[in-house]
Amino acid sequence: MSELTVEVAKTWPLAQDLLLGEGSNHYIAAMSCLTRRGQGQHRRWREHRAGTPSVTSLKNGGVKVVVRMHSWVDAYRVDINVGAWRIRAGVERWTLRLRPPAALMEARWDEIMVDTGGRGAESARPKPDLGRGSTALVWRPEALKAAPQEKPPNDKASVGKEGAADSGATKASGGTKTDPPPSVTVSFRPSWQRSWAAQNNRLVAVVLDRAGELLAMVSTTVLLLYAGVLYRRRPVLPNPVQKRTLRNLTVWAIALISLTALTLTDDVLVRYLERRGPGLRLQTLIISGNAFALVAAAVLFYVARPPQRLLLAAGVLALPPVAVAVAMAAQPDALILYETSTAAPITLGLASACLMALTVLGFTAAAWRLATDGGLLPPSRRFPGNERVFRLRIAGPIVLMWTTAVAVFFTVAQERNWQRAAWLSNRTGSSLGADRRDDFVSETVWAVGNGQDWILAFTWLLSAVAILAVLRTWRSPSAVSPFEDRADRLLLLVFFAHVVSTFSGYFVGSSAVALLWEPLLVLSLYWTVAPFTRRSVLAQPLERSGRPLSNFTDPASRARLLRKSRAYRETHAVLRRLDQGMFGDTPPERSALERKLKKLHNWSTTAGPDRLPSGMSVVDGALALGPGDNWWANGSRCALMSLIPSVPASLLMTWAWTVKGEAWQSTLLNRFGVPSLFTEFLFWMPTWVGAAFVMGTLWRQLPGRRGAAKALPVTAAFALLVTAEALVHQFTGEGSANLPLEVSAMLFVLTVTAIAMDFDTFRGERRYWQSRLGLLLSIYQMRYYSLQAAYLIAQVIAMIAIWEFFTEPDVVLKFSDLK
């Protein structure tokens, strides 16, 4: 952060121009004199400001100007200008130099202060006059000693204030000259975390980052392929649907690593070309960027296996980027001639938009193929018995609307960034319009790779669809949960790791160690669920035979338990009314009611009569089975019921990561920032719904007699990963403010969904009750219902408390990372 305070005398010719609006040419000329070196067009792409400089009139007729600037040191061996300072990041040391504008060279400097924070400065030239706090250095030039009656400005609350020039600033343009300010140079050693983050643009850092991400994706691909091997080892001959889904899983696993390699290689190639020469030619970037993007889109369409009509549409979208790349490759000087015309932004913008639409269309078609082959979509209503068909007349306009919206917001964000960087540029010059056009062309070219990377960051959604298709078609009808089969268990663990988990292994701006976290991602769910499966209701043995109740989970046994559960609850209702004296002259005999309850525990098996476990009721058994006849039905039903509570949870997390505090400024600066609000929401919805699906598939093996208890193991697996991420952030010095809110939101969504699952188990009785609340009271009884209500209220209060705590201004947030 940089803060410059200048007091300008009224005799300065441009003093009153500072009182004009920011769009005035006179204001720009005056402000650039005070804050910029030299004349001409001023572009500072790395400099940011929270608002317009403060300009106030003084009693003596002068003007006081306070300019606050800030930046992020995220580039290695690059000069970053912030206010009157220039900072350069090296391998071990960072250097800070004072570079005041020419208009302030002869002004009287009252005070210069530098606060490096951390361990303080390593060296300073010239030597500071005094220190302030533990790390701040202060210089008070000779001009202050020459005028001891002048009080220095009050700057105790400022950090990094560079200088203050009072009415003596008029001497810069005429009058008695003063000595120039000292050439302050400060060197310091930043923390290793800040130093590493600033070197992320080095070729070696880029290679390590991309290699770590690639290896992590290789491990995921290996797990998916190994799951396919396990399925093929089953003794039963697969049917055609199973063959298709398994083939899709294999093809997608290979496509996943191919897409990852393409996007990562593109980044490494760009850094290599930048290092090889003085600058990366925009023409080379157009050719390589379009080529990589087209190949990535081709991979998506290979997975989709689209019909000819869709292939024709893809070919039409590919024509503009292919034509631009061929034109640039055929004529070495084509771009130089091209940039001089107004057609450059339109043509390159159209090519980039076509590549965006092509990628989104291929992504959608691939997801449709994986879903329809696995039977995840409902059958066609127009043609009963047939699969739904991907209709271009519906998908095409949606893709075009999305692409148009992204292009519009990209243009607005680009203009906003241009105005931020060039706000002090001379607007009367003839080169301003050409510079703006050239900058738009450059950003449009870079948007090809960046936009596709933004879309392909959601390939985990395609992985989720491929996994769900295989789980649905290959599940064993007699299995209690997917944990009973090695292949099903492996796919469910991979699903949880890459769909439910938000843990990405991205620390200090790098994914170099992402591979080390893969075992934790895959095994977290197993560690929190498997040790407690023996405590589930269905794992309890029958009283006589000792066989677990899980052996009787077929639809007929479930229907029998539901009938017994209804009789059990009705009998208990009669007993409660009997205890309260609510019967007339002929109350029922209590002993008869108790005998009826005892008979409900009788359970017939093929080996003879038996009895249900003594520690449970028939209601517990029915709730443990869930509303579905198998684990897939329970998982699907659970995912469906989680949609409603997932919406407010997703909105909450979208606000926390992209809108709250400094995150909103980052969202506005990002070229894809505003559309990313939608993708951020899309990021969180599958997180909650996927967690609910996992809870539903494991419903019959989760401990607890009521749904709220079954939500705890899955939430614990999610919390384990969040805790690991928070511990690493504590070590690296990154923000963890929103992580507790994630866990709280997960627990809330799963608890509400689990209660809805309990209610849905007895949905067949809904017509016998006047309201859903009455049925819920009948299921839980008043004691359980009160506990569940209090539990949910406590969760809401906890979420509010976490939100209020982490919305304090002193809390530093980290920005959201894609999976």
- Mean pLDDT is lowest, of 14-28, 471-485, 605-619, for 605-619
Q: What is the pLDDT of residue 387?
A: 77
- Which residues, listed in sequence order, are joined to residue 139 by a DSSP beta bridge? 112
Give me the percent of the chain exceeding a pLDDT of 70. Answer: 88
The length of the chain in residues reads 819
> Among residues 175, 198, 221, which one ends one of the domains?
198
User: Measured between alpha carbons, how far is 165 from 65 in angstroms, rounded to an integer?
Assistant: 10
Residue 815, pLDDT above cutoff 50? no
At 721-773, the pLDDT tens digits run 999 999 998 888 887 888 889 999 999 999 999 999 988 888 877 777 766 76
pLDDT band at residue 705, thresholds of 50, 70 and 90?
confident
Tell me, yes or no, whether 418 lies in a domain: yes
Higher model confidence: residue 338 or residue 305?
Answer: 305
Q: pLDDT tens across 529-552, in order? A: 999 999 999 999 888 888 888 888
Question: Among 201-205, 351-355, 409-413, whose mean pLDDT is lowest?
Answer: 201-205
CB 496 within 8 A of CB 463: no
In total, how many domains does the chain have?
3
pLDDT, tens only, 209-234: 999 999 999 999 999 999 999 999 99
Of 497-501, 638-642, 797-801, give the lowest mean pLDDT range.
797-801
Q: Distance between CA 254 and CA 300 in Å, rounded?
A: 11
Q: What is the mean pLDDT of residues 247-255?
A: 97
pLDDT, the chain, mean: 85
The answer to the question of residue 569 being in a domain is no
Q: How far apart are CA 41 and CA 27, in angstroms?
A: 15
214 and 164 co-located in one domain: no
Q: What are phi and psi of 705, to 5 degrees?
A: -90, -20
- With a CB cutoff of 8 Å and minimum separation 6, the contacts of 314 are 297, 301, 306, 358, 361, 362
Asked if the model's pLDDT at residue 664 lies above 70, the reply is yes
How far, CA to CA in Å, does 447 sit from each of 229, 288, 429, 695? 40, 13, 28, 40
Q: Which helix (H) or strand (E) holds 82?
A: strand 79-82
* 548 part of a folded domain: no
How many CB atoms sit inside 10 A of residue 743's CB?
21
C-alpha to C-alpha distance for 516 and 505, rounded to whole angstroms: 8
Omega cis (within 30) before 126: yes
Q: Same domain for 363 and 313?
A: yes
Asked whether residue 518 falls in the same domain as residue 385, the answer is: no
Average pLDDT value for residue range 677-700: 96
In DSSP terms, 130 is beta-bridged to: 138
Which amino acid is present at 172?
A
CA 194 to chain centre: 22
- Per the domain annotation, does 113 fall within a domain? yes
Between 808 and 643, name the one with better pLDDT: 643
Dist. CA 205–CA 185, nearest whole Å: 28
Enumerate the β-bridge partners of residue 161.
Answer: 3
Task: Compute the Cα dihedral for 503, 512, 673, 253 and give only its sign.
Answer: negative
Range of the domain at 712: 481-540+619-819
Determine the Cα–Cα distance for residues 677 and 192; give it in Å rounded to an integer: 32
**With pLDDT > 90 as the criterion, what percentage of the chain qualifies?**
44
Domain's final residue, options 474, 493, 513: 474
Higher model confidence: residue 772 or residue 123? 123
465 and 318 inside one domain: yes
Query: What pLDDT, on the 0 to 100 scale, is given for residue 731?
Result: 87
Contacts of 298 (CB under 8 A, 6+ apart): none
Taking only the tens place, the pLDDT of each residue in 364-398 is 999 999 999 999 998 777 777 677 888 899 999 99
Strand runs labelled E in 480-601: none
pLDDT value for 600: 86
Residue range 140-150: average pLDDT?
56
**Rounded CA separation 626/623 (Å):** 5
Looking at the fold, whether 458 and 485 belong to one and the same domain comes out as: no
Task: Give the whole-angstrom CA distance, residue 710 versus residue 721.
Answer: 19
Query: Could you tell me the pLDDT band of residue 336, with boundaries at 50, 70 and 90?
Result: low
Residue 277: predicted pLDDT: 66
pLDDT of residue 458: 95
- Confidence band of 814 (pLDDT split at 50, 70, 90): very low
Residue 593 lies in a domain: no
Q: Give the tokens for residue 159.
A: 């950090």
User: Strand 121-125 and strand 2-8: pairing?
Assistant: unpaired
Angstrom CA distances, 186 to 37, 84, 194, 574, stand at 20, 14, 17, 84
User: Is residue 392 in a domain?
Assistant: yes
For the residues 638-664, what does the mean pLDDT come to? 92
Q: Do 804 and 680 fall within a single domain?
A: yes
Question: Among residues 140, 170, 198, which one ends one of the domains?
Answer: 198
Quickly tell me which residue has 């866990």 as its tokens.
743
Q: Under DSSP, is residue 184 helix (H, G, I), strand (E, B) or coil?
A: coil
Global pTM reads 0.88
336 shares a domain with 223: yes
Residue 187 or 591, more confident = 187
Pick the range with the lowest mean pLDDT from 68-72, 484-488, 545-549.
545-549
Note whether 232 and 185 are same-domain residues: no
**159 lies in a domain?**
yes
What tokens does 326 get? 């061929």
Q: Is the pLDDT of residue 492 over 90?
A: yes
Residue environment code for 241-280, b if the CB has 16+ CB neighbours within 10 A, otherwise e: ebebbbebbbbbbebbbbbbebbbebbbbbbeeeeeeeeb
SS3 category, 777: helix
Measured N-to-C along each axis, helices 675-697 and 643-658 cross at an angle, to the nearest 10 degrees, of 140
Q: What is the pLDDT of residue 43?
A: 83
End-to-end CA distance of the chain: 31
**pLDDT confidence of 156, banded at 50, 70, 90?**
very low
pLDDT of residue 171: 30
Q: Are residues 140 and 222 in the same domain?
A: no
Identify the pLDDT of residue 270.
83
What gap in Å lies between CA 571 and CA 568, rounded to an integer?
Answer: 5
- Indicate if 504 and 437 belong to the same structural domain: no
Burial 791-814 (b: 16+ CB within 10 A, else e): eeeebeebbeebbeebeeeeeebb
Do 193 and 205 share a domain, yes or no? no
DSSP assignment of 303-340? HH---HHHHHHHHHHHHHHHHHHHHHHH-TTHHHHHHT
Same domain, 66 and 87: yes
pLDDT of residue 150: 43
Q: What is the 8-class DSSP label of residue 670?
A: S
Kindly indicate the confidence band of residue 176, based on its pLDDT and cuts at 50, 70 and 90.
very low
**Residue 413 above 60 pLDDT?**
yes
With a cut of 50, say whether residue 164 has pLDDT above it. no
Q: Does the residue 141 lie in any domain?
A: yes
Q: Return d(Cα 715, Cα 168) in angstroms, integer.
A: 65
Over range 276-296, report the average pLDDT: 82
More confident residue, 809 or 410: 410
The pLDDT assigned to 817 comes to 37
